[in-house]
Amino acid sequence: MKNKNAYIGVFDSGAGGLTVVKHIMEMMPDENILYFGDTAHLPYGTKSEKQIKEFATNDVAFLNGFELKSLVIACNTADSVARETLIKEFDMPIYGVIDPAAKKAATVSKNGKIGIMATTATVRSDAYARRIRHYRKDAEVFSLACPLLVPLVENRRYKKEDIVVSTILQEYLDQLTVHGIDTLVLGCTHYPLLIDAVQSLVPDITIVSSSEEAVINLKNSLEATRQISDTPGSERRFYVSDDADAFRQNAEVFLNEKLGSEVIQVSV
């Protein structure tokens, strides 16, 4: 059995995966967290399948140099494209963001019409549509690539009062609401920072966050296998592949608190 006080490894192409870290901190405050943001290759969503698999494998190989009890792919793009590759390559429990969010959306939708906002690569993979239909055969899934959103959020542009943010979101949302959706999945871990802005534009639609659902699933699994940390307090370590200072600034926005830990730049 794994050491229950070992790290939960989390990786993303940038700071977006910190929305997953934030939920871990809230739901399981005693867990030790090891985070890697591949900021040198941000964003993954516009890259080829071959590149995404290569980047994700390198990310996990770096994290695997530490003692991990589980790994979270905190990147919808990497989960949609590289999940099977990572499962074959690494011997550890690997958790994604797509399946838990797909299951939640399939469950909460009343009319079965579900919208997906995601990166180009995630939409191209059709991963959400497949998983939603696995849980709900009659579901109608409408997926939309939203390539402008990750750069906005990484540049700390996400507030609903920001006219640029609301204008871009409105253009994207109009392409989904025309189908009569009653549920919308934020299929990128950067997007939870946009929840208030999205909700203000579509107040009657149920929003599903892939970040939150992923951590709920992780917590349930750790509890079921008796792997929840039993040591009060926690250690959080943050690594990036480029521009540690910019990541630190973003991290404080994503986590809504001072980081309190050094951000270390490494080559992977």
Residue range 198-241, pLDDT digits in tens: 999 999 999 999 999 999 999 999 999 999 998 888 899 999 99
159, 106: one domain:
yes
Residue 119 falls within a domain, yes or no?
A: yes
Which amino acid would we find at residue 81? V
136, 228: one domain:
no
218, 205: one domain:
no
Q: Are 3 and 69 in contact (CB under 8 A)?
A: yes
Task: Give the closest residue to 150 by CA, choosing from 37, 50, 10.
Answer: 37
83, 183: one domain:
no
Q: Please count the structural domains in the chain.
A: 2
Mean pLDDT of 130-157: 95
pLDDT surpasses 80 at 1 = no
Supply the pLDDT for residue 211.
97
Residue 78 falls within a domain, yes or no?
A: yes
CATH number at residue 232: 3.40.50.1860
Copy the structure tokens of residue 207. 């929003």
Residue 34 falls within a domain, yes or no?
A: yes
226, 186: one domain:
no
Q: Are 30 and 232 in contact (CB under 8 A)?
A: yes
111, 86: one domain:
no
Residue 1 falls within a domain, yes or no?
A: no
List the domain range (segments joined by +) for residue 125.
98-210
pTM: 0.94
Tell me the pLDDT tens digit for each residue of 188-199.
Answer: 999 999 999 999
For residue 72, the 8-state DSSP code is E
Distance (Å) of CA 201 to CA 182, 196, 237: 13, 9, 36
104, 199: one domain:
yes
The least confident of 72-76, 165-169, 202-206, 229-233 is 229-233
For residue 44, the 8-state DSSP code is G
Which pLDDT band holds residue 260 (cuts at 50, 70, 90)? confident
103, 203: one domain:
yes
Residue 150 falls within a domain, yes or no?
A: yes
195, 259: one domain:
no
91, 221: one domain:
yes
Q: Give, to the nearest 10 degrees, the angle between helix 49-63 and helix 76-89.
A: 60
Tell me the pLDDT tens digit for each residue of 86-125.
Answer: 999 999 999 999 999 999 999 999 999 999 999 999 999 9
Identify the domain boundary among 210, 225, 247. 210
179, 224: one domain:
no
pLDDT surpasses 90 at 257 = no
Residue 244 falls within a domain, yes or no?
A: yes
Catalytic residues: 75, 188
104, 204: one domain:
yes
Supply the pLDDT for residue 263.
95
